[in-house]
Amino acid sequence: MRIDILSLFPEMFDGPFANSIIKRAMDRSLVSIYVNNFRNYACDRHKVVDDSPYGGGAGMVLKPEPIFEAVEDLVGRPYVKNPQRPVILLSPQGRLFTQKIARELAGFDNLIFICGHYEGIDERISRHLVTDEISIGDYVLSGGEPAAIVMVDAIVRLIPGVIDCLSVSDDSFSQGLLEYPQYTRPRIYRGLEVPDILLSGNHAEIEKWRRKEALKRTISRRPDLLESAVLTQEEREMLEEIKGSE
C-alpha cells in the first residue's frame, strides 16, 4: 500500500511513523508513506496557501490551487475522481471513523489524505477533489495531522502481514463487541487473582468465558454497539442471561 499525506506541517509525522508497528511495516515494504508539504504547490512567490473568506468572517480559509496541484501531481492531470484511489479530507464534518471504515480503507492500494488547517477549506476542494471526508470524533482539532496519524495507524495494522491475524480478529470492534478482559503473570498480585477458568486448560470453556465477558463489557460500556453486532445463537442466549442477572 502507498499512503500520501498532504500537510503544512510534515514534521508532525516524524515521531509517530518512525516507531512501532508503522515503522516495522515500512521496513518490510508492506506500506510506503509519503508526507508532502502542499505549500510547495502554492502559485505565488510568497507560497501563500490561505486567504480571507469571501463574504467576510473570522479566520482564514485554505486556497484551492495548492491542494489541487498537489493531488494532480500524485495522480495525474486532468484530475478525475476515482473511487479506487480515495482522496480523503480530514474534516470534523466528515463521516465518523470506525473499525469498519479502517478495514474498508485497508483494502486499497493507494490512499491520499489531506490535512486541513486554519478556519476551513475552500468548498471546491470538498466538492470536486476529495472522494471522502472523515472525522475521528465530535471535537475540533487544530489541524488534520493528528487525525491522519490515528487513521494511518488503524489502517496499517490491518494490512495482511503487518501483525498476527489472530490479534487483529480479537481486537475491540472487530467482531462488533469490545474485547474481553486480559490477564498475565503473576497469578496473584496484591491479593487480586486471575480468574480460575483461564488457568484450567479447557480451551472451549475459556473461549465461552471470553465471549461472555466481551458481552458484559459491551453492555456496560458501549451498549450502542449491540444494535449492529452480529451475534451467534449462543451469544444471544448469553446476552439474555446477562441481562436477566442485572
**Residues that are catalytic:** 92, 119, 157, 171
Conformation bin of residue 60: beta by default, left when phi > 0, alpha when psi is -120 to 50: beta
Q: How many CB atoms lie within 10 A of CB 108?
A: 15
- Write 81-87 long-range contacts (CB < 8 A, 24+): 81/128, 81/129, 81/131, 82/131, 83/131, 84/108, 85/110, 85/112, 85/131, 86/110, 86/111, 86/112, 86/131, 86/132, 87/112, 87/114, 87/129, 87/130, 87/131, 87/132
Q: Which three cell numbers stand for residue 69?
A: 496541484
Under 8 Å between Cβ of 183 and 196? no
